[in-house]
Structure 1
Amino acid sequence: MSVSLRPGKKALSVARTLHVYVSMALLLLMLFFALTGITLNHPDWFGASSADTQRDIAPLPAFLVPVEASSVRWQDNAAHWMASNWQGNRAEVEISDDELVLVQKGPGRYRTITLLSEAQQVEIETLDYGLVAVLNDLHKGRSTGPVWSLVIDISALLMLIFSLTGAFLLLPQQRRLKRSLGYMTAVSASCLLIYFWFIPA
């Protein structure tokens, strides 16, 4: 008794519908991840490895003068002011005897705000790596927050659905299926050979 692996018409119809609509929903995201894969692999081609640096100095507000660097209350007030003024988080402010530091990381950007107790001023240094670096960090999900992380997870899930439904639709087409499996085996084997032969241990 032979068992047929040929899927039914209803299953194929569902798979075809999923494949078409998921592919259209993912079209721009797949193009984004494909293009940023190239920019990530070659950051020097697009200037993503060099930053424009901007330095600014800001005075302390009146309620923080005179400076009482050793006072816990003053430190707390200063930390809250820094977090509020630069849209940061109070818990991220690092406090020491002579300075308070708030580091903010975003896609393609790195900013350090330093309150110098002795100088009674705040120094702000901003490193901007440009648009390509922003896109690269979005690709990696680096310094992008939980919402964008969820977008990446959903995109990955939809890509799995897109790939698996595409393979499922090939099952009734035995000739194309065999040819596709051959391509898959050749590409996968090539990647393994490249890994073992050309990638340093």
Structure 2
Amino acid sequence: MAGNASSLPGSTARAWWLRQLTLWHRITGAASLSILIFFAATGVFLNHPGLIPARVDTEVRALTLPVTLQEVLGAAPTSGTAPLPRPLANWLAPRVGVPLRGSVADFDTREVWIDLPRPGGEGRVIIDRATATADISITRRSWLALAADLHKGRNSGAAWPFVIDALALGTVLFALSGLGILAMHARARPATWPVTLGGLVLPAVLFLLFVHGG
């Protein structure tokens, strides 16, 4: 069984490091490949918003609250912003298609307003306190608009930011392990560092000429 790199002779230690770097490069590349392609592709659409269709579908419905929820509605606040009562949230969630537990609403003596943020669209629920009816309006845009919102992390829920963070970490490890592999082969490949340096300098030059100097 191979020891750690510090206990190995020079050539063997180099081979050990190369195996480790190659292993991490393969693992992080395989793990982040699909989501990295997703973010790269959606980045193109964000850079050219005219490619995203402007199609909008709006669904409007009116529902009457059950008697038990009418009692909950009557006990709800009559002013300000406050958490939506859990029974109301549990009843509305499957009807609007988004989780509402922990959501807040705007209350007054006549109505309760609930925003329904979602990637690729938006919506709202307006509950009339006098009639105990809920007017639901849900707007959905194209799947490209949905993908663009996921790229930005807009209204994407609590779990999606962890996906973005995991991708960022995986990409950093992928890049660093790739840089290590390049460094270990650089002596036999003279173009390695000029190309690497060019990849660093060119974006900086373009930024200074066309963005920062605007």
Does structure 2 conserve the Cα–Cα contact (< 8 Å) formed by 1:107 and 1:134?
yes
Give the TM-score normalised by the residue count of structure 2.
0.75
> What amino acid is the match of 2:163?
V
- State percent identity of aligned pairs: 23
Partner in structure 1 of residue 25 of structure 2: 19
Shift of 1:188: 2.9
* Structure 1, 89-98 or 16-25: larger mean CA deviation: 89-98
Separation in 2, partners of 1:177, 1:64 = 68
Does structure 1 conserve the Cα–Cα contact (< 8 Å) formed by 2:77 and 2:107?
no
Shift of 1:135: 1.1
The number of residues matched between the two structures is 188
Q: Deviations over 1:22-52 (max 9, x none)?
A: 21222111110100101222233121x5532
Shift of 1:73: 5.7
* SS of residue matched to 1:125: strand
Partner in structure 1 of residue 186 of structure 2: 173
Does structure 2 conserve the Cα–Cα contact (< 8 Å) formed by 1:39 and 1:46?
yes
2:115 counterpart of 1:107: no
Partner in structure 1 of residue 40 of structure 2: 34
Partner in structure 2 of residue 191 of structure 1: 207
* SS of residue matched to 2:115: strand
* SS of residue matched to 2:158: helix
Does structure 1 conserve the Cα–Cα contact (< 8 Å) formed by 2:76 and 2:85?
no
Shift of 1:86: 1.7
Shift of 1:126: 0.5
Partner in structure 2 of residue 53 of structure 1: 58
Does structure 2 conserve the Cα–Cα contact (< 8 Å) formed by 1:79 and 1:100?
no
**Equivalences for residues 46-125 of structure 1 within 5 A:** 46-47=52-53, 49-63=54-68, 71-72=74-75, 79-87=85-93, 88-89=100-101, 91-125=103-137
Partner in structure 2 of residue 3 of structure 1: none
Partner in structure 1 of residue 163 of structure 2: 151
* Structure 1, 91-100 or 25-34: larger mean CA deviation: 91-100
Separation in 2, partners of 1:159, 1:42 = 24
Separation in 1, partners of 2:41, 2:134 = 39
Separation in 1, partners of 2:26, 2:76 = 61
- RMSD of the alignment, in Å? 2.8
Shift of 1:60: 3.0
* SS of residue matched to 2:109: coil
Give the TM-score normalised by the residue count of structure 1.
0.80
Does structure 1 conserve the Cα–Cα contact (< 8 Å) formed by 2:72 and 2:87?
no
Structure 2 unaligned regions, length at least 5: 1-12, 94-99
Shift of 1:79: 4.3
> What amino acid is the match of 1:135?
A
Does structure 2 conserve the Cα–Cα contact (< 8 Å) formed by 1:68 and 1:74?
no
